[in-house]
C-alpha cells in the first residue's frame, strides 16, 4: 500500500497532526511526518513535493497556520492529491489560514478541510486511497457503522 505524508509548517502544528495520526493508525495506514516550512525551507518543500510520488506517497496532508502557503507550494510541485489543514494560530481565528489554503489558482488544486481538521484530513486521505483498495474501503465502511452505532447509543442514553 502507498503511504501518506503529513507535512507540518511548524512544530506548533503537532497537536493537529496528532489527530491525523490517530485516524491513520486506526486504519492501519502507513504515513510519515515531516516539518517543512514553505517560507523558511522553500527548497526542501519543493524537493519533497517533486519526489513525493517517487518516494511512494499517494496523498499529502499539509498542516499550517497563519499565511498557510504550505499546501499550495506542495501542490504546485506534485500531481498527487494535497489536502490542506488550516490551523487556528492567530488573532484571525484561522480565517487567514483557511483563505490561504482554499484560494488556489486553476490547475493547482488543494482539497481543504475545516480549521484544525486534522482528523478529517486523514479520513479524506483514506477515502482517496480506498478508491483502489477494497480492504481499506471495508475498513472505512466498518468505521462508518461504528460511528452510527455510537450516535444511536448516545441518543438512547440521552432518553434514559
pLDDT digits (tens, 9 = 90+) for 98-114: 999 999 999 999 999 99
CB-based contacts of 31: which residues, under 8 Å, 6+ apart?
3, 4, 5, 6, 20, 21, 24
Of 96, 79, 77, nearest in space to 88 by CA: 96
- Report, as ranges of residue numbers, the positions in the chain whose pLDDT lies below 50: none
Going along the chain, which residue ranges are E strands? 3-8, 31-35, 57-65, 82-87, 111-112
Contact predicate 110/104, CB 8 Å: yes
Q: What is the pLDDT of residue 1?
A: 61
Q: What is the pLDDT of residue 89?
A: 82
| Cell numbers given for 150 | 455510537
What is the reported pTM? 0.95
Q: What is the pLDDT of residue 147?
A: 97
Q: Tell me, which fold does domain 3-133 have in CATH?
A: Rossmann fold (3.40.50)
SS3 8: strand
Q: What is the pLDDT of residue 54?
A: 96
Contact predicate 71/124, CB 8 Å: no
Amino acid at each position: 500500500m502507498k503511504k501518506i505524508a503529513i507535512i507540518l509548517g511548524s512544530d506548533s502544528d503537532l497537536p493537529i497532526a496528532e489527530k491525523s495520526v490517530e485516524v491513520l493508525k486506526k486504519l492501519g495506514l502507513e504515513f510519515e511526518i515531516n516539518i517543512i516550512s514553505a517560507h523558511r525551507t522553500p527548497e526542501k518543500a519543493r524537493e519533497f513535493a517533486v519526489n513525493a510520488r517517487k518516494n511512494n506517497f499517494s496523498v499529502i496532508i499539509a498542516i499550517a497556520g497563519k499565511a498557510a502557503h504550505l499546501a499550495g507550494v506542495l501542490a504546485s510541485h506534485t500531481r498527487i492529491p494535497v489536502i490542506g489543514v488550516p490551523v487556528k494560530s492567530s488573532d484571525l481565528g484561522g480565517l487567514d489560514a483557511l483563505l490561504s489554503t482554499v484560494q488556489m489558482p486553476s490547475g493547482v488544486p488543494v482539497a481543504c478541510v475545516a480549521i484544525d481538521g486534522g482528523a478529517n484530513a486523514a479520513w479524506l486521505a483514506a477515502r482517496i486511497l480506498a478508491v483502489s483498495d477494497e480492504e481499506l474501503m471495508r475498513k472505512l465502511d466498518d468505521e462508518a457503522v461504528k460511528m452510527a452505532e455510537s450516535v444511536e447509543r448516545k441518543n438512547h442514553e440521552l432518553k434514559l
